[in-house]
Structure 1
Amino acid sequence: MNANRRTRISRLSAVGVAAAASVVVLAGPAFAHVTVQPVGAAAKGGYATVNVKVPNERDNASTVKLEVSFPVTEHPLTSVMPQAVPGWTVNVEKAKLDKPLKVHGKEIKEAVSKITWTGGKIGPGEFQQFPLSLGQLPEDADQLVLKAIQTYDNKEVVRWIEEPKAGQPEPQSPAPVLKLTAPAGDGHGAAPADDDKKAKDSKASDAHDDDKKETAASASDTTARVLGIVGIIVGVAGVAFGVLAGRRRAS
């Protein structure tokens, strides 16, 4: 390979690496949104424990405040409880409901409208999770939109409040969305009866397969022993035949 060809290949390789790096740099921030992720099942009409995941998107600033708003008008939640996060102070705000709700025979006149975390710090290249217990989840919706506002120590504010629409490109600052599934068997996130039946059937099938394997192994072991004994008998008979034949030739 001549010098000119090696030079051209080196230049093309450098251009390719630079292009790949550019794609990575440009694509990175698209995945660094504030999101909400279920820890267990998020079933309609039930209760769920979720994490609000907050990544720090800045290289020269730290996140020092998070506000999460709940759809108290469209889908009020009768129970919203934050779990303590070391280093952070939490403040829960409630709003009066236009129409009181009845839960377990008790009338609920207000619901949580916003939760704010302050006092902590999420540094560059880090993320923090804020656990929440939510319920009862709406039965007439496929998702729950929790709008979030992220504040940095340089006074920059990022509003994650744009609701994603099906069939449309993702907005620049999408709001965290909790997907809701079909109601579970007992309404509290338990597995449906069908799933339990499938699990039992699967275990029974596995046990049956294990029995078949053990039976096959036992049969194989028995066969090996019989063949071994037959081999010994044949060997002894061969030795005896050889001895007798030798004696006949000698006589």
Structure 2
Amino acid sequence: MKVTQATPAATATRTSSKLPRVAAAGAAAALVVLAVSTPAFAHVTVQPEGEAAKGGYAVVDFKVPNERDDASTTKLEVSLPADHPLASVMPQPVDGWDVKVTTSKLAKPITSHGQKIDEAVSKVTWTATGKGIRPGYFQKFPLSVGQLPEDTDQLVFKALQTYSNKEVVRWIEVQKEGQEEPQNPAPSLTLSDAAEGSHGSTAKGASAADSSAEDAKSTAAESTDSSDTTARVLGVVGIVVGAAGVAYGVLAGRRRSGAGA
């Protein structure tokens, strides 16, 4: 039986013929990864500076990347959640942008800090006074918001991004649990649970303060009672000493009188 052995040249030829296919497959995989990751980067998102705890206040940043190569972002409109209205919404000035705050009547009034509120901010609009967000850049738009609701785990803010070529991208699709992320997801703010005892901290603090005040009063009262007792004792001692002095003086006078006689 004759055995044919491959020569090094033949092996090299077959290996080199596979390289283009391997390279093509690798390039295709890289393009798929890039295609999947790029849109996520280009989303309009909202993130807290620090923590956004239920029942508290927070500063949140709307991050707006420019995803066009031939146009700038010139306008951002953010609608606040109507199902969980926020009593306090204050924008931070952003250089190169005008800001407009729109308020609307509430279908159902809310109570904040003991006050009944029948209207709240429904939309905040930033409009560029210059070139806006140029291609390859992003901009943050901060808002101070509160009091954050305690009956939900997240707040959804629908946003409209307008470009200098008049194109409008509507970031309004709500992410549904168990489903893939939509093409134009609405910015969503995740709320953390309030720190344990945070809502009762004021009451606890007040109780501690009241206790301290009562202790101080008690100490002051004890100090006053002690002072009064000391004063009474000293007064009695003074009277006794005075009486003894008088008696001694009388006796001494009698002795002198008897000696003179």
Question: TM-score, normalising length from structure 1?
Answer: 0.69
Gap change, CA 1:34 and 1:187, over 3 Å in 2: farther
Q: Report deviation, 1:75.
A: 0.6
Residue of 94, 110, 114 corresponding to 2:119? 110
Is the deviation greater in 86-95 or in 99-108? 99-108
SS of residue in 2 equivalent to 1:117: strand
Aligned to 1:8: 17
Gap change, CA 1:168 and 1:64, over 3 Å in 2: same
- 1:136-215 equivalences under 5 Å are 136-185=147-196
Q: Report deviation, 1:24.
A: 3.8
Tell me if structure 2 keeps the 8 A contact 1:36–1:51: yes
Q: Distance in 2 between matches of 1:135 and 1:68?
A: 16
Q: Distance in 1 between matches of 2:197 and 2:118?
A: 26
Tell me if structure 2 keeps the 8 A contact 1:46–1:187: no
RMSD value over aligned CA atoms? 2.3
- Please list every run of 5 or more consecutive structure 2 residues that lacks an aligned counterpart in the other structure: 1-9, 205-261
- 1:76-87 equivalences under 5 Å are 76-87=85-96
Q: Report deviation, 1:30.
A: 3.1
1:116 maps to amino acid = T
Tell me if structure 1 keeps the 8 A contact 2:91–2:143: yes
2:159 maps to amino acid = A
- 1:18-167 equivalences under 5 Å are 18-27=27-36, 28-72=38-82, 74-119=83-128, 121-167=132-178
Gap change, CA 1:62 and 1:163, over 3 Å in 2: same
Larger Rg: 2
Q: Identity over the aligned pairs, expressed in percent?
A: 62
Gap change, CA 1:147 and 1:186, over 3 Å in 2: farther
Gap change, CA 1:43 and 1:176, over 3 Å in 2: same
Is the deviation greater in 29-38 or in 94-103? 94-103
1:117 maps to amino acid = W
Question: TM-score, normalising length from structure 2?
Answer: 0.66
- Please list every run of 5 or more consecutive structure 1 residues that lacks an aligned counterpart in the other structure: 194-251
Q: Report deviation, 1:40.
A: 1.5
Is the deviation greater in 51-60 or in 99-108? 99-108
**1:200-247 deviation digits (Å, cap 9, x = unpaired):** xxxxxxxxxxxxxxxxxxxxxxxxxxxxxxxxxxxxxxxxxxxxxxxx
**1:143-166 deviation digits (Å, cap 9, x = unpaired):** 000000111111111111111111
